[in-house]
Protein backbone atom coordinates (compact mmCIF):
# COMPACT_ATOMS: atom_id res chain seq x y z
CA UNK A 1 0.00 0.00 0.00
CA UNK A 2 1.46 3.39 -0.97
CA UNK A 3 2.34 5.77 1.82
CA UNK A 4 0.48 9.07 1.76
CA UNK A 5 2.54 12.11 2.46
CA UNK A 6 1.30 15.50 3.46
CA UNK A 7 2.98 18.21 1.46
CA UNK A 8 2.86 21.77 2.73
CA UNK A 9 2.20 24.45 0.19
CA UNK A 10 1.79 28.19 0.40
CA UNK A 11 -1.50 29.23 1.96
CA UNK A 12 -3.97 30.81 -0.39
CA UNK A 13 -6.93 32.77 0.94
CA UNK A 14 -10.14 31.65 -0.75
CA UNK A 15 -13.62 32.94 -0.03
CA UNK A 16 -15.58 30.36 1.96
CA UNK A 17 -18.41 30.38 -0.59
CA UNK A 18 -16.21 29.88 -3.65
CA UNK A 19 -16.49 26.44 -5.23
CA UNK A 20 -13.04 24.85 -5.13
CA UNK A 21 -13.55 21.13 -4.42
CA UNK A 22 -14.63 18.59 -6.99
CA UNK A 23 -17.19 16.04 -5.81
CA UNK A 24 -14.65 13.36 -4.87
CA UNK A 25 -12.67 15.75 -2.66
CA UNK A 26 -15.78 17.25 -1.06
CA UNK A 27 -17.11 13.75 -0.37
CA UNK A 28 -13.86 12.76 1.29
CA UNK A 29 -13.77 15.95 3.38
CA UNK A 30 -17.36 15.35 4.51
CA UNK A 31 -16.73 11.63 5.04
CA UNK A 32 -19.44 10.63 2.55
CA UNK A 33 -19.74 8.77 -0.71
CA UNK A 34 -19.91 11.00 -3.83
CA UNK A 35 -23.29 9.46 -4.70
CA UNK A 36 -24.63 10.73 -1.37
CA UNK A 37 -23.64 14.27 -2.37
CA UNK A 38 -25.50 13.83 -5.67
CA UNK A 39 -28.58 12.62 -3.78
CA UNK A 40 -28.40 15.59 -1.38
CA UNK A 41 -28.15 17.92 -4.36
CA UNK A 42 -31.21 16.27 -5.96
CA UNK A 43 -33.16 16.82 -2.72
CA UNK A 44 -32.08 20.45 -2.54
CA UNK A 45 -30.02 20.05 0.63
CA UNK A 46 -26.89 21.35 -1.08
CA UNK A 47 -26.35 23.51 -4.15
CA UNK A 48 -22.76 23.30 -5.38
CA UNK A 49 -21.45 25.80 -7.88
CA UNK A 50 -20.75 24.60 -11.41
CA UNK A 51 -17.68 25.11 -13.55
CA UNK A 52 -18.16 26.41 -17.11
CA UNK A 53 -18.14 22.76 -18.23
CA UNK A 54 -20.74 21.72 -15.63
CA UNK A 55 -18.48 20.07 -13.05
CA UNK A 56 -19.78 20.37 -9.50
CA UNK A 57 -17.57 22.60 -7.37
CA UNK A 58 -18.10 22.55 -3.61
CA UNK A 59 -17.08 25.40 -1.33
CA UNK A 60 -15.85 25.31 2.26
CA UNK A 61 -19.37 26.34 3.30
CA UNK A 62 -20.80 23.43 1.31
CA UNK A 63 -18.45 20.99 3.05
CA UNK A 64 -19.44 22.42 6.45
CA UNK A 65 -23.11 22.00 5.53
CA UNK A 66 -22.46 18.40 4.42
CA UNK A 67 -20.75 17.68 7.73
CA UNK A 68 -23.74 19.18 9.53
CA UNK A 69 -26.13 16.98 7.54
CA UNK A 70 -23.93 13.98 8.34
CA UNK A 71 -24.07 14.86 12.03
CA UNK A 72 -27.86 15.16 12.03
CA UNK A 73 -28.42 11.90 10.16
CA UNK A 74 -25.70 9.68 11.62
CA UNK A 75 -25.32 10.97 15.17
CA UNK A 76 -28.78 12.38 15.89
CA UNK A 77 -30.72 9.79 13.89
CA UNK A 78 -32.72 12.29 11.83
CA UNK A 79 -34.17 11.37 8.48
CA UNK A 80 -33.62 13.66 5.48
CA UNK A 81 -37.08 15.23 5.82
CA UNK A 82 -36.14 16.26 9.36
CA UNK A 83 -32.80 17.59 8.15
CA UNK A 84 -34.56 19.61 5.45
CA UNK A 85 -36.89 21.13 8.03
CA UNK A 86 -34.05 21.96 10.43
CA UNK A 87 -32.10 23.66 7.64
CA UNK A 88 -35.20 25.61 6.53
CA UNK A 89 -35.82 26.79 10.10
CA UNK A 90 -32.17 27.78 10.52
CA UNK A 91 -32.40 29.81 7.30
CA UNK A 92 -35.58 31.51 8.51
CA UNK A 93 -33.99 32.24 11.88
CA UNK A 94 -30.93 33.72 10.20
CA UNK A 95 -33.10 35.90 7.96
CA UNK A 96 -35.21 37.09 10.90
CA UNK A 97 -32.10 37.82 12.94
CA UNK A 98 -30.73 40.01 10.13
CA UNK A 99 -34.08 41.82 9.85
CA UNK A 100 -34.22 42.32 13.63
CA UNK A 101 -30.70 43.77 13.66
CA UNK A 102 -31.61 46.15 10.82
CA UNK A 103 -34.77 47.22 12.67
CA UNK A 104 -32.81 47.74 15.90
CA UNK A 105 -30.29 49.91 14.04
CA UNK A 106 -33.14 51.91 12.50
CA UNK A 107 -34.84 52.28 15.89
CA UNK A 108 -31.59 53.64 17.31
CA UNK A 109 -31.31 56.11 14.43
CA UNK A 110 -34.91 57.24 14.94
CA UNK A 111 -34.41 57.59 18.70
CA UNK A 112 -31.38 59.80 18.08
CA UNK A 113 -33.40 61.87 15.59
CA UNK A 114 -36.25 62.29 18.10
CA UNK A 115 -33.76 63.49 20.73
CA UNK A 116 -32.25 65.94 18.25
CA UNK A 117 -35.68 67.29 17.31
CA UNK A 118 -36.76 67.59 20.96
CA UNK A 119 -33.59 69.55 21.75
CA UNK A 120 -34.28 71.80 18.77
CA UNK A 121 -37.87 72.30 19.96
CA UNK A 122 -36.62 73.29 23.44
CA UNK A 123 -34.18 75.78 21.88
CA UNK A 124 -36.86 77.28 19.70
CA UNK A 125 -39.36 77.43 22.56
CA UNK A 126 -36.80 79.36 24.64
CA UNK A 127 -36.41 81.86 21.81
CA UNK A 128 -40.13 82.44 21.27
CA UNK A 129 -41.27 85.79 22.60
CA UNK A 130 -45.02 86.31 22.35
CA UNK A 131 -46.43 89.79 21.90
CA UNK A 132 -49.49 91.20 23.71
CA UNK A 133 -51.94 93.55 22.08
CA UNK A 134 -50.38 96.87 21.46
CA UNK A 135 -46.95 95.36 20.92
CA UNK A 136 -45.90 94.88 24.57
CA UNK A 137 -43.56 91.92 25.28
CA UNK A 138 -45.00 89.02 27.25
CA UNK A 139 -42.99 86.31 28.97
CA UNK A 140 -43.68 82.85 27.70
CA UNK A 141 -46.56 81.38 29.71
CA UNK A 142 -47.84 84.73 31.05
CA UNK A 143 -50.85 86.57 29.75
CA UNK A 144 -49.85 90.13 30.79
CA UNK A 145 -47.13 92.32 29.26
CA UNK A 146 -43.98 93.05 31.31
CA UNK A 147 -44.56 95.65 33.99
CA UNK A 148 -48.37 95.52 33.75
CA UNK A 149 -50.14 94.11 36.75
CA UNK A 150 -53.64 92.81 36.73
CA UNK A 151 -56.19 95.18 38.22
CA UNK A 152 -56.69 94.60 41.92
CA UNK A 153 -53.15 93.41 42.70
Instruction: Identify the sign of the CA torsion 11, 14, 20, 26.
Output: positive
Q: How many CB atoms lie within 10 A of CB 23?
A: 17
- Please count the residues of the chain: 153
5: buried, middle or exposed (CB in 10 Å: 19+, 13-18, 0-12)? exposed
Query: Which domains are assigned to the chain?
Result: 23-105 (1.10.1660.10)
Q: Is residue 46 within 8 Å of 65, Cβ to Cβ?
A: yes
One digit per residue, pLDDT tens: the chain, 153 residues?
556 666 555 576 777 777 788 999 999 999 999 999 999 999 999 999 998 999 999 999 999 999 999 999 999 999 999 999 999 999 999 999 999 999 999 999 999 999 999 999 999 888 877 666 666 665 655 655 555 555 544
Q: Is the pTM of this model over 0.75?
A: no
Amino acid sequence: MPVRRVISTARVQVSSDRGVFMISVAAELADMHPQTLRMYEARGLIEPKRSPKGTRLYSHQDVQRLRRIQEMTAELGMNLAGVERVLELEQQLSSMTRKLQALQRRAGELTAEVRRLEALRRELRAEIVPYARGGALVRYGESQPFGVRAAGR
